[in-house]
Amino acid sequence: MKYLRILMLALGMILMIGSAGLFARNHLRAAEARSWPRTRGRIMQSRVETVEAQAVGTAGDFRPAVRYDYVVGGHVHHGHVIWLDENRSFGSAPVAARELAFWEPGADVEIMYNPRDPAEAALLIDKPTWRWFFLFLLGALLTRLGWPLRRAKATGQELVPA
């Protein structure tokens, strides 16, 4: 029982520290990217990809995928990132296809690019997702379950470890 508590405590702390760090990193990156310069680009390809085929029963997750070209400083760059913070996938192909409604092949779009590395670009910069917060809560729960409780003696005077 003691080792299970230590394991839960360690896992909970790792989840809390890791998720807080990832949330902070994504938040700072999104804040920096909002000041990136913008340029015009053109969608060259737009399709729905199957991310991972499941075993029997479902076709897997589906991800909207685009390829776009843009020019920075006289150089043509090719990009494929839609959301800067993550690669999103959806449970069905029609839902993923709805995300591509504004990115039909041949469409002119505004592209944000990193001024230090113009090859790094994105179509959208979203706020960091809340999944890191939920991982933090899971870590807090595991940490609490692994933390030894203290119970009062029968006299109610002293606290002793459980």
Please indicate, yes or no, whether residues 49 and 105 belong to a single structural domain of this protein: yes
Please indicate, yes or no, whether residues 23 and 83 belong to a single structural domain of this protein: no
Q: What pLDDT tens digit does each residue of the chain (162 aa) get?
A: 788 888 888 888 898 999 888 888 888 888 888 899 999 999 999 999 887 655 544 556 888 999 999 999 999 999 999 988 777 778 888 888 898 888 899 999 999 999 999 999 999 887 666 777 888 888 988 888 888 766 555 555 566 565
Please indicate, yes or no, whether residues 89 and 22 belong to a single structural domain of this protein: no
Residue 78 lies in a domain: yes
Burial class, 84, CB count within 10 angstroms (exposed 0-12 / middle 13-18 / buried 19+): buried
Please indicate, yes or no, whether residues 52 and 120 belong to a single structural domain of this protein: yes
The pLDDT score that the predictor gives to residue 79 is: 94
Please indicate, yes or no, whether residues 54 and 91 belong to a single structural domain of this protein: yes
Please indicate, yes or no, whether residues 97 and 135 belong to a single structural domain of this protein: no
Question: What domain range is 4 assigned to?
Answer: 1-34+129-148
Q: Are 20 and 136 in contact (CB under 8 A)?
A: yes
Any idea what the Cα angle at residue 138 is, between residues 136 and 139, rounded to 5°? 65
Contacts of residue 158, Cβ cutoff 8 Å, sequence gap at least 6? 152
The pLDDT score that the predictor gives to residue 37 is: 95
Q: Which residue has the tokens 């405590």?
A: 9
Residue 66 CA to its chain's centroid (Å): 18
The pLDDT score that the predictor gives to residue 120 is: 92
Residue 136 lies in a domain: yes
pTM above 0.75, yes or no: no
The pLDDT score that the predictor gives to residue 56 is: 44
Residue 19 lies in a domain: yes
Q: Taking phi first (over 0 means left), then psi (-120 to 50 degrees means alpha), and beta for anything else, what does residue 73 get? A: left
Residue 154 lies in a domain: no
Q: Are 126 and 84 in contact (CB under 8 A)?
A: yes
* Structural domain total, the chain: 2
Residue 104 lies in a domain: yes
